[in-house]
Copies of this chain bind each other. A is one copy, B any other.
Amino acid sequence: MKLYDLELSGNCYKVRLFASLIHLDLEIIPVNFLEGEHKAEPLLTLNPFGELPIFIDGEIILRDSQSILIYLAGKYAGEAWWPTTPHLQAEVAQWLFTAANEIQHGPCSARLVDLFNYSLDKNLALAKSTKVLTIINQHLEHREWLATKRPTIADIAVFPYIALAHEGGIDMSDYTNINRWMNSIKALDGFLAMPGI
């Protein structure tokens, strides 16, 4: 299994983190992001969106970090991380979509501005961050994990850009339930760090 990877990308990191948690070996292929290797061939054929990560397992090519988590959990980790019962699966899925939308356009975008000089609306990203972080902090008031009674790929998908939010200038100190939840993730057997976390 190969992962076309950028070390500083939270989306790439969520795949590395989950692989580490389920004790799966990935061949990491670093991509020269600054030179736009991901926006040129041959990578552009593997992912026409011109983004990372890109994941390859034999004939299977996947382009989206949440979808890669779904694949790895379903194929190599089983029921616990990605339930097959429809209502539990949908509970987990809700947070995968929150990662792909509200987290991506909130804390992730704020960090892209501060760390990589992306031309995005920082104030909009901060407003979206406050909204989604407040909701998640409230959601975790009486819960240890986001979706079920144990960690799932929902937690893995949402964690990276919240743990990196301080790099976008977001003060996390008041989100006490989120901080407790982040510590629970960091305490998981097989946890893997990245720069900034």
* Interface residues, chain A, with chain B CB atoms under 8 Å away: 48-49, 57, 60, 62-64, 66-68, 70-71, 74-75, 84, 86-87, 89-91, 93-94, 96-98, 100-102, 104-105, 121, 131, 135, 138-139
Contact = CB atoms under 8 A, between A and B. Distances in A.
Given A62-B90, A84-B84, A67 B138 contact: no
B48 A94 contact: no
B101 A86 contact: no
Nearest to A60: B87
A66 B100 CA distance: 12
> Lowest 9 A-B CB distances belong to which pairs?
A74-B86, A71-B90, A75-B86, A67-B93, A67-B94, A67-B90, A97-B100, A48-B135, A60-B87
12 contacts: A48-B135, A48-B139, A49-B135, A63-B94, A67-B90, A67-B91, A67-B94, A70-B93, A71-B87, A74-B84, A101-B101, A105-B105
A85 to B, nearest CB: 8
Q: Is the interface of A mostly helix, strand, loop or mixed?
A: helix
A63, A74, A84, A91, most chain B CB atoms within 10 A = A74
B135 A67 contact: no
Given A63-B94, A94-B63, A105-B105, A71 B48 contact: no
Contacts of A49: 102, 131, 135
